[in-house]
Structure 1
Amino acid sequence: MIEAVKFWNEPNNKSHWAFEIDPEWKIYSEMVKTAAQAVKAEKPDVLRVLGGISPIDPHFIKTLERHGALEDLDAIAVHGFPLDWNLWKIHEWPNKVAEIEAVTNLPVWVTEVGISTFGAEEVQEFGLAKTAELLLGRVDRVFWYSLYDLPQAWEATTRHKEAEGSSYYRHFHMGLLREDGSPKLALKQFSDYTPEMGICQWFHFEDHRLDDAVEWLRRLGVKRLRTGLSWADYLRPDADKWFDRMMTKLDEFDLTITFCFTPEAKGVQPHHTSPPQNVEEFSDFCVEMMRRYA
């Protein structure tokens, strides 16, 4: 069921890692190294992947390599949104992948790529087709972000929405399906690219969309799914019941699971983006999830 695990999400993005606490990523590197070794010992056949980086930055990869964070990993993951947030063109995807390949011998995966419908649904249609043309066959894994729009009543996982200005609202329009489950224009062509292209869909705690999401994934011919198991959520009451239900529903897919988000009580600061006080506790969480679900 679990094909691969990722250690954190976008660790070089301020929305997901408080690098003012860890400016050289030494804590993050130690956390990855410790967790990767523990997962390798527990389930050596499960692939271990660096948390997808955004922006795509070869200097960041070289920094982690100096700290020894890549020694027990099987792949490097990158995220890109050239029609929404990145300062490069969609046609540059092969070059962005090559920039990372130039500084590591590990294969590069694209574990989040997507196009919002903030301006027009036709932009997403174009972006999906061009992304498939440029990346399928170029990298081992591609995950489209995402199946569903983010509900307007929820907050996007970012720490600086005021600084993003109107770009913040693009977070809410990344799905192939609208919040109410109705299809957008690009949905009809997505099955042209499966099963080679997977989907990244984050499920919130006790997410009401889970059952419908599984039905849509089947209908679209999706075989590979990326989602997350939140360390912060696991300390909630009855979290094990929710995790069990979610993982049972997703059993038919080849899963790439992202381990991320620090419980407030465990962080250097009380925030889910904070480095943990004790990296061993993150490692213990990863091992517990492997024993339960791998």
Structure 2
Amino acid sequence: MIEAAMIWNEPNNKSHWDPEVDPDWSRFAEMAALAGRAIGAANPNLPRVLGGMSPIDASFLHNLARRGVLDHLDIVAVHGFPLDWNLWCIDEWPQKIAEIQAATHLPVWVSEVGVSSFGAEEVQAWGVDRTAALLIGNAPRIHWYSLYDLPRAWPATTRHREAEGSSYYRHFYMGLLKEDGTPKQALERFARYTPAMGICQWFHFEDHRLEPAVTWLKRLGVRHLRTGLSWADSFRPNALAWFDRQMEALQDFDVTVTFCFTPEHLGIMPHHTSAPREPQRFAEFCATMVERYAPATSSKPSTNRVAVA
């Protein structure tokens, strides 16, 4: 059920990787290379994806290439939200993909793209249509972010929170469904483009939306799903039970699973965006998850109980 393993999420975005701890990405490069090797050893047939760049930046990719990271990857990915956060027009999508294609021989996926309904549902619905027109045929994988709005009681993963003004609040309006599951106008539009377009849906620890999300994804005809398994969450009580439940629920989809988030007690700084003190620990987590859910000898989840701590 796992079609690819993604190493981190938006590593060039300071909301997901702390530039004060690692200003030149040398620590990230070491960690990503170790993870790529570990995933390859656990399952040589599982594609390894560089966590989606945000912003889309060929110079960042050149930096990682000089450090040898791309030698341990099979795919690179980009993220773009031109109607909400990026300082470029939505019609520039083909150009943005071409810039990254020119910087690497690896395939380029769009592992997050979306439009919020913050201003109006009509804007989001139009954005689905325009995104599909611009990206289908130009990227092997397209994951729309997201199925559900982020619940307002939860914090968005961003560094400056409410100080970002409307940029922060847009995080809560990215779904095709409202927080309570009510469909928005964009839902019907999106269904016209499956399975060519997939979904990126992050599930929080013991997320109450898991089973309803599966029902909606199947109803929409989604085949390709991107989600995550959190290294930080692996230290919670009953973490493996939650991981098993999540991956079993998603077994009918082709899943790109993202490994990310530093446990606070293992970071150089006590924060999930920090580079870890021992990058090999992250690589070991990735390998353990691959051995459990995408073992080299089978496409089925492993039934063996393994420790991740």
**Bucket of the pairwise TM-score, normalised by the shorter protein:** over 0.9
Partner of 1:125: 125
**In the alignment, structure 1 residue 9 sits paired with structure 2 residue 9:** yes
Distance between the aligned counterparts of 1:112 and 1:36, measured in 2? 21
| 2:250 alignment counterpart | 250
Query: What is the letter of the counterpart of residue 4 of structure 1?
Result: A
What residue is the counterpart of 2:98 in the other structure? Answer: 98
1:89 corresponds to which residue?
89
Contact 2:61 2:103 in 1 (8 A): yes
Which segment is superposed worse, 163-172 or 107-116?
163-172
**Residues 26-71 of structure 1: CA deviation (Å, up to 9, x unaligned):** 0100111011011111101111000101000011000111111111
* Corresponding residue number in structure 2 for 1:77: 77
Deviates more, 1:170-179 or 1:186-195: 186-195
Aligned residue identity for 1:218: K
Q: 3-state DSSP class of the match of 2:133?
A: helix
Residue pair 2:162, 2:169 contacting (<8 A) in 1 also: no
Per-residue CA deviation, residues 201-248 of structure 1 (Å, 9 max, x unaligned), is 000000000010000000000011000000000100000000000100
Equivalents in 2 of 1:139, 1:188: separation in Å?
A: 22
Displacement of 1:164 in angstroms is: 1.7
| Correspondence for 1:224 | 224
Amino acid of the structure 1 residue aligned with 2:161: K
Rounded Cα–Cα distance in structure 2 between residues aligned with 1:266 and 1:4 = 26
1:100 and 1:252 mapped to 2: Cα distance? 31
Q: Secondary structure at the match of 1:23?
A: coil
Q: Superposed, which structure 2 residues align to 1:276-287 within 5 Å?
A: 276-287=276-287
Per-residue CA shift, 1:106-141, capped at 9, x if unaligned? 111000000000000000111100100010111110
| Structure 1 CA distance for aligned equivalents of residues 73 and 127 of structure 2 | 30
SS at match of 1:186: helix
Question: For 2:153, what is the secondary structure of its paired residue?
Answer: coil
Structure 2: gaps of 5 or more residues: 295-309
Instruction: Provide the secondary structure at the position in 2 that maps to 1:70.
Output: helix
Match of 2:268 in 1: 268
AA paired with 1:139?
Answer: A
Letter in 2 for 1:176: L
Equivalent residue, structure 2, for 1:65 = 65
Distance across 2 between alignment mates of 1:166 and 1:93? 23
- Residue ranges of structure 1 left out of the alignment (5+ in a row): none
Q: Which runs of 4+ in 1 moved over 6 A?
A: none
Deviation at 1:162, TM superposition (A): 4.0
Counterpart amino acid of 2:165? G
Q: Which residue of 1 aligns with 2:110?
A: 110
Matching of residue 24 in structure 1 with residue 17 in structure 2: no
Letter in 2 for 1:117: S
CA displacement at 1:161 relative to structure 2: 1.9
SS in 2 for 1:268: coil
One-letter code aligned to 1:254: D
Separation in 1 of the partners of 2:90 and 2:195? 22
- What amino acid is aligned across from residue 198 of structure 2 in structure 1? G
Cα separation, 2, equivalents of 1:56 and 1:222: 26
Distance 1:102 1:217 in 2: 34
Secondary structure of residue in 2 paired with 1:171: helix
* Counterpart position of 2:190: 190
Between the aligned partners of 1:65 and 1:291, the Cα distance in structure 2 is 27
Alignment TM-score, normalising by the size of structure 2: 0.94
Q: Following TM superposition, by how much is the alpha carbon of 1:163 offset from its aligned partner in structure 2, in angstroms? A: 4.1
Q: CA deviation at 1:19?
A: 1.2
Counterpart residue type for residue 216 of structure 2: W
* Deviation per residue, 1:59-91 (Å, 9 max, x gap): 100011111111111111000000000000000
- Distance in 2 between the 1:100 and 1:120 partners? 32
Q: Which whole-Å CA distance do the structure 1 matches of 2:104 and 2:246 have between them?
A: 35
Secondary structure in 2 matching 1:9: coil
What's the secondary structure of 2:5's corresponding residue? strand
User: Structure 1 vs Structure 2: percent identity of aligned residues?
Assistant: 65
Query: Which amino acid letter does the alignment assign opposite residue 217 of structure 1?
Result: L
**Where does residue 175 of structure 2 map in the other structure?**
175
| Distance (Å, rounded) in 2 between the aligned partners of 1:196 and 1:40 | 27
Which residue number in structure 1 is paired with residue 305 of structure 2?
none
Corresponding letter in the other structure for 1:108: V
C-alpha distance in 2 between matches for 1:5 and 1:38: 11
